Structure 1
Amino acid sequence: MTGLVHDFVDQYGLIAVFLGCVAEGESAAILGGFFAHQHVFVLWHAYVAAALGAFIGDTSFFILGRRFADHRYVVRLRKRPGFRRAYRLLNTHPNIFVLSNRYVYGMRLVGGVAAGLSTIAVPRFILLNAISSAVWAVLFSTIGYVFGLGAEHLVGQALVRHERLLIGLGIGLAVAVLAWLFAHHIAKKERGKE
């Protein structure tokens, strides 16, 4: 079983990091850094996969808002908690909003669509999104890399490589669950305010 997991991560790990970062993605970027520490792939490859995934994801949400404003999916997103706040912040501080939106868990999708519905110019959004994606990818992948150092010290050198991969998957799952719980809590508070 662990050999199968190891082979899967070897072959598809960077693709999984990329796809995970298209959506919310913090846990995918952290896992990318962790697996880079385990020498499954090179750290800069994890940076690139995470940055491209984040960039493409946010750009897709932007296009969704810009081109399909009346689509039922976009209309439903506009009713989500926090959309009005994101739209208001975007119109008052567009540069800061685009640069920082991905750091607020649970707001990335809503923020991308709100940016698409706003008057921000496409080239400006693309440039700010590229900068933000690169910084975000390096930050969260590096956190995963440091997690790898810490896990190695906690668990010790006695574990073989594929057991460390399972620990990494466990850490990634724990981060994803905690992030989901946090986003759920924030969304619940936002619904109470509206």
Structure 2
Amino acid sequence: MTDTIHRLVEQYGLIAVFLGCVAEGESAAILGGFFAHQHVFIVWQTVLAAFLGAFAGDTFFFFLGHSFAEHRWVRRLRKRPGFSHAYQSVRTHPNIFVLSNRYIYGMRLVGGIASGLSGIPIWRFIALNALSSLVWALLFSTIGYVFGLGAEQIIGRSLLLHQRLLIALGIGVAVIVVAVFIGHRVARRERAREGD
């Protein structure tokens, strides 16, 4: 069983990091960094997968807002909590917003749509998004790598690789559960604020 999990992580793990980083992907990038420390992935490949996922996700949502403003999916996303705040922020401070949007949990999706609707030139968005995605991927992959160093100090090197893999997967699931919980609380608070 553990050998199968190990093989699956080795074969498809970087794809999972990429896909996880397309959406709200901090936990995917951190987990990728942890696996890089465990020598399951190569560090630069982990950073590249996280960068490409983050860049592709934000660019996709930008073009969705830019080219399909009246599509029913975009109209539905414009009703999500935080959209009006994101749209106002990107209109007043477009460069700062594009560079910092991915660091605000729960805002990446609506932030991409808002950026697309705001009239930012495509070339500027792509350049700022690439820079922000690269810094983000380096930061969160490094956090995962450093966490791997710390975990190794705490639990020791004596654990087998597959045992450390299972611990990492458990930590990843816990991080996702906490992130979803926090995201729901932030969204509920934002809906209440917009309802006032």
TM-score, length-normalised on structure 2?
A: 0.97
Equivalences for residues 37-186 of structure 1 within 5 A: 37-186=37-186
Q: Secondary structure at the match of 2:81?
A: coil
- The aligned amino acid for 2:104 is V
User: CA–CA distance in 2 between the matches of 1:81 and 1:13?
Assistant: 32
| 1:151 CA drift (Å) | 1.2
Letter in 2 for 1:47: V
The alpha carbon displacement at 1:184 in A equals: 0.9
What is the letter of the counterpart of residue 4 of structure 1?
A: T
- Structure 2 gap segments, 5+ residues each: none
Q: Deviations over 1:8-58 (max 9, x none)?
A: 011111111111101111110001100000001111110000000000000
Structure 1 residue 80 displacement after superposition:
0.7
Separation of aligned partners in 1, 2:193 and 2:11: 46
Aligned match of 1:13: 13
1:101 to partner: Cα distance: 0.3
SS at match of 1:69: coil
Shift of 1:156: 1.2
CA distance in 2, matches of 1:65, 1:181: 27
Deviation at 1:150, TM superposition (A): 1.4
Aligned Cα RMSD in Å?
0.7
Instruction: Please state how far the C-alpha of 1:178 moved relative to its aligned partner.
Output: 1.1
Alignment size in residue pairs: 194
- The Cα of 1:157 is off from its aligned counterpart by 1.5
TM-score, normalised relative to structure 1: 0.98
User: What residue ranges of structure 1 are gaps of 5+ in the alignment?
Assistant: none
* CA–CA distance in structure 1, aligned partners of residues 178 and 138 of structure 2: 21
* Shift in Å, 1:185: 0.9
Q: CA deviation at 1:174?
A: 1.1
One-letter identity of the residue aligned with 2:30: I
Which aligned segments of 4 or more residues in structure 1 are displaced greater than 4 angstroms? none
